[in-house]
Amino acid sequence: MIWKPGDCAAPGKTPMGVDSRGRIVNRVSAPARYPFSAVVGMDDLKLALLVNAVSPAVGGVLVRGEKGTAKSTVVRALAALLPDLDVVEGCRFGCDPADPDPECPDGPHADSAVPAERPARLVELPVGASEDRLVGSLDIERALTEGVKAFEPGLLAEAHRGVLYVDEVNLLHDHLVDLLLDAAAMGTSHVEREGVSVRHAARFLLVGTMNPEEGELRPQLLDRFGLTVEVAATRDPQLRADVVRRRLAFESDPEGFAAGYARDEAELAGRILAARKRLPGVVLTDAALRQVTAVCAAFDVDGLRADIVTARAAMALAAWRDHAEVTADDVRDAARLALPHRRRRDPFDAPDLDEDRLQEALDQAGDADPKGQGEPPEGDGPDDDPGGGGGRGSGGAEAEGTESGAGEQAPGERPGEAEHDPAGPERPHEGGAGEDTGTGEQRQPRPQDPDQGRRAEVGETYRPRLFSLSGVGQGAPGRRSRAETPYGRTSGARVPRSAVHGLHLTATLRAAAPHQRARGRTDPGLLVRSGDLREAVREGREGNLVLFCVDASGSMAARERMRAVKGAVLSLLTDAYQRRDKVGLVTFRGAGAQVELPPTSSVEAGARRLRELRTGGRTPLAAGLMRASDVLRVERLRDPSRRPLLVVVTDGRATRGGLEDALRAGARIGARGVHGIVVDCESGPVRLGLAARLAAEMGGESVRLEELGADALSGLVRSTRRAA
Amino acid at 632: L
Q: How far apart are CA 95 and CA 107, in angstroms?
A: 9
Residue 123 has phi, psi (to 5 degrees) of -110, 130
Query: 3-state class of 54 per DSSP?
Result: helix
pTM greater than 0.85 (yes/no):
no
Q: How far apart are CA 507 and CA 207, in angstroms?
A: 41
pLDDT score for 152: 81
Residue 322 has phi, psi (to 5 degrees) of 65, 45
Strand partners, 541: 482
Ranges for all domains in the chain classified under CATH 3.40.50.300: 26-249
Ranges for all domains in the chain classified under CATH 1.10.8.80: 282-378
CATH code of 26-249, in short, is: 3.40.50.300
pLDDT score for 542: 87
Q: How many CA atoms lie within 13 A of 486 on its CB side?
A: 12
Q: In what order do the strands lie in the sheet with 644-650?
A: 592-600, 582-589, 545-551, 644-650, 675-680, 701-704
Measured at the CA of 401, the angle between CA 396 and CA 407, to 5 degrees, comes to: 140
The burial class, CB within 10 Å (0-12 / 13-18 / 19+), for 720 is exposed
Q: What length does the chain have?
A: 724
Q: How far apart are the first and last CA of the chain?
A: 86
The class of domain 545-723 in CATH terms is alpha beta
Listed in sequence order, the residues at least 6 apart from 30 whose beta carbon sits closer than 8 Å to its beta carbon are 80, 119
Measured at the CA of 221, the angle between CA 152 and CA 413, to 5 degrees, comes to: 165
CATH code of 282-378, in short, is: 1.10.8.80
Q: How far apart are CA 131 and CA 138, in angstroms?
A: 12
Q: State the pairing for strand pair 535-542/163-167.
A: unpaired
Query: 3-state class of 7 per DSSP?
Result: helix
Strand partners, 200: 189
The burial class, CB within 10 Å (0-12 / 13-18 / 19+), for 355 is middle
pLDDT score for 665: 92
Strand partners, 589: 592
Q: How far apart are CA 415 and CA 357, in angstroms?
A: 8
**290 and 296 Cβ atoms separated by less than 8 Å:** no
CA dihedral 348→350→352→354, nearest 10 degrees, is -50
Write out residues in the chain with pLDDT < 70, as ranges.
1-31, 139-149, 193-196, 215, 219-220, 344-352, 366-456, 487, 557-560, 657, 710-724
Q: How far apart are CA 4 and CA 270, in angstroms?
A: 8
Q: State the pairing for strand pair 227-231/188-193.
A: unpaired
The closest of 652, 566, 636 to 606, measured between CA atoms, is 566
Q: How far apart are CA 219 and CA 95, in angstroms?
A: 34
Query: 3-state class of 491 per DSSP?
Result: strand
Residue ranges with strand state E in 58-121: 61-65, 85-88, 115-118
| DSSP letter (8 states) at residue 559 | G
Q: How far apart are CA 166 and CA 153, in angstroms?
A: 18
pLDDT score for 569: 86
**374 and 287 Cβ atoms separated by less than 8 Å:** yes
H or E element: which one contains 446?
A: none
Q: Which is it for the CA torsion 64, 69, 70, 72, positive or negative?
A: positive
Strand partners, 586: 549, 595
Q: How far apart are CA 534 and CA 333, in angstroms?
A: 55
pLDDT score for 359: 82
Amino acid at 198: V
Among all residues, which ones are annotated catalytic? 305
Ranges for all domains in the chain classified under CATH 3.40.50.410: 545-723
pLDDT score for 563: 79
Residue 648 has phi, psi (to 5 degrees) of -100, 120
pLDDT score for 196: 65
